[in-house]
Amino acid sequence: MERYVEGAESEKLVFFGADKKGETDSWDSLFQKIFGMPYPETNGDQGGVEGY
């Protein structure tokens, strides 16, 4: 998916983040930076790999 990210200096980038089990600080920061809004609240479902 292509998306403009403020502060990115190159057109082709990959963003990585790592969180300890049960934490989502890095994930939340990346989502905010890429999509410009916080991740929509869910009803406690983690989603992603942990949600399956």
1-52 pLDDT, tens digit per residue, is 677 777 777 777 778 889 999 888 888 888 888 888 888 875 445 555 444 3
Distance (Å, rounded) from C-alpha 49 to C-alpha 43? 16
The predicted pLDDT at position 37 comes to 86
Distances (CA, A) of 28 to 9, 22, 32, 39: 21, 13, 6, 7
Contact 25, 19 (CB under 8 A): yes
Contact 6, 35 (CB under 8 A): no
